[in-house]
Amino acid sequence: MKILDRYIIKTFFGPFFFIFSVLFFIFIVNIIWIQMAQFVGKGLTYWEITKLLFYMGVSVVAMVLPLTILLSSIMTFGEFGERYELAAMKAAGISLTRVMTPLFLVNIGLALVLFLFQNNITPDFQKKAKNMLYNIAATKPALNFTPGQFINQIPGYAVKFDKIEGENGERVEGVFIHRTTNIYEDQQAIVAKNGRFAPASDRNFLKLVLYDGYVYEDNFRNKDYNQRQKQPNQIVKFDTLVSHFDVSDLIDKAIEKEQITDDYRFQTYGEINQSIEKRKKDNGEIFNGLGLSLVSNTNNYIQIIQNVKPRKQIVPQYKIDTVQEEKRLDALYGAFNKIETQKTELAGKQDQIYGIIKYQNKMIMYQQRIFAYSFTCIIFFLIGASLGSIIRKGGMGLPVVIAIIIFIIFYVMNLTVENLSWKGKMNPYLAAWFPNMVLFPFGIWLSYKALTDSQLFDAEKYKAWFKPLLERFQKPREHARYR
């Protein structure tokens, strides 16, 4: 490697690592903001939260790396132009293509690393993140109640609170607790005006202190039907009742235990391809079943016969004009009801078909983006290097603004085609590659402008273009009258 190549690469990786760290942190903060409700009040340790954020943050690398390459490329070549290093290289007979070559190869390597990362590492971390979120949702139920709704998070009980107050939700009002048992076990229900959660001496138990209520019990265990019929209801009034609920199953549950394994985001490119092919066959069978169901319900008297000729001609049962008026109205009313039923069923089938198509297209787009985002890295380098050599401004000012605008355009296109694909209005393969297909010609055009030393962002050039038009709307200067 020549000294010039080492210098160019070193200059590029200086801002690269800094920008990547900042952007990764910003995306992580966004994840924390979205998932904050699932962290608060769960009794998680800092280490568990850190691991969860790391697992979730791995998935944002696919968006952070292309943006980092775009910003770093603009800043690197902008600094070369601002310090006149680019002009010195050209004066020494080194073309812009030669200057861009080492970084172009570096970014091809980064694109390959991103593909391997998304294909082999990201699926495993997404599996860990999703399972951790699933397990966290069932942890520490004492602080995860919703007022006015029955919650089944405490094992063996259905609980409802009318109001939940306090900084940590420790005070409750309108308490109703029902033991979930079968008809052969003791029944119990507790009703109280108010109560509070209190610290328990044993972390495996949830302590709830209730005030001013009743306990309703039926002792049915080990008793036959006749005995249960004679058993009187027992009602106990209390001023204060301390209840301990065993939540050891929730607390001792391994927070990283893998209970969800069938998500396509947990698979590599090849595994997703196999899942897509299998799902296509399954979807074909489902669609055939939906079609046959609609056909069979259209007319109960129609029979679908394949490859068999009817033995005799089918004669209609009657003509509507030949029957009596009352029977005619009954027949028309029955036909109307059948049509309305068919329309309702068809609407339900459409929702089912929409869900199938959406999931199928999600799988295809996720698979294709494993490749597409890697190619985006190369496109963003072409755009960034070309813009930097044309603008000739380094630092965090104008380059950052331009890079953010380009990334927003890319991101909006991504979301737009994604929604169109989910609705079945756009081919998922085309949707996954559409942003690259739009930006790639733009990158080639910018590269051409940079190689030809185009004054693309020269304000004086555009002023000269519009000068004749502007002079028509300007008043003549005072000294121009006497010429």
Q: Say yes or no to pLDDT of 16 above 50.
A: yes
Amino acid at 48: E
Q: Say yes or no to pLDDT of 115 above 90.
A: yes
> What's the chain's length in residues?
483
Instruction: Say if 293 falls within a structural domain.
Output: yes
- pLDDT value of position 334: 73
- pLDDT value of position 142: 41
Same domain? For 208 and 226 the reply is: yes
- pLDDT value of position 38: 60
CB atoms within 10 A of CB 414: 20
Calculate the CA 39 to chain-centre distance: 19
- pLDDT value of position 306: 42
Same domain? For 391 and 321 the reply is: no
- Pick the last residue of a domain from 196, 219, 251: 251
Q: What is the pLDDT of residues 242-265, one digit of tens each?
A: 888 776 665 555 555 666 666 777
Enumerate residues 6+ apart whose C-beta is below 8 A from 127. Answer: 258, 260, 261, 263, 265, 266
- Three-state SS for 432-446 is HHHHHHHHHHHHHHH
Q: Say yes or no to pLDDT of 196 above 90.
A: no
CA angle 355, 356, 360 (to 5 degrees): 115
Instruction: Say if 471 falls within a structural domain.
Output: no
Phi, then psi, of 205 in degrees rounded to 5: -125, 145
Average pLDDT, the chain: 77
Same domain? For 11 and 126 the reply is: yes
In whole angstroms, give the CA distance from residue 471 to residue 451.
34
Of the two residues 321 and 197, the one the predictor is more confident about is 197
Q: Say yes or no to pLDDT of 140 above 50.
A: no
* Domains held by the chain: number: 3
Helix (H) or strand (E) holding 206: strand 205-218
pLDDT band at 441 (very low <50, low <70, confident <90, very high): very high
Same domain? For 104 and 171 the reply is: no
Enumerate residues 6+ apart whose C-beta is below 8 A from 17. Answer: none
Instruction: Say if 186 falls within a structural domain.
Output: yes
The arithmetic mean of pLDDT across residues 421-445, rounded, is 89
Same domain? For 132 and 18 the reply is: yes
- pLDDT value of position 150: 80
- pLDDT value of position 225: 59
Domain with 50 in it: 3-138+372-418+429-465
Same domain? For 122 and 39 the reply is: yes
CB atoms within 10 A of CB 450: 23
Amino acid at 448: Y
pLDDT band at 380 (very low <50, low <70, confident <90, very high): very high
Same domain? For 447 and 351 the reply is: no
The region of weakest confidence among 35-49, 194-208, 269-283, 409-423 is 35-49
The answer to whether 117 and 107 are in contact (CB under 8 A) is no
CA angle 117, 387, 368 (to 5 degrees): 30
Same domain? For 103 and 201 the reply is: no
Q: Say yes or no to pLDDT of 73 above 80.
A: yes
Q: Which two tokens stand for residue 113?
A: 């690393």
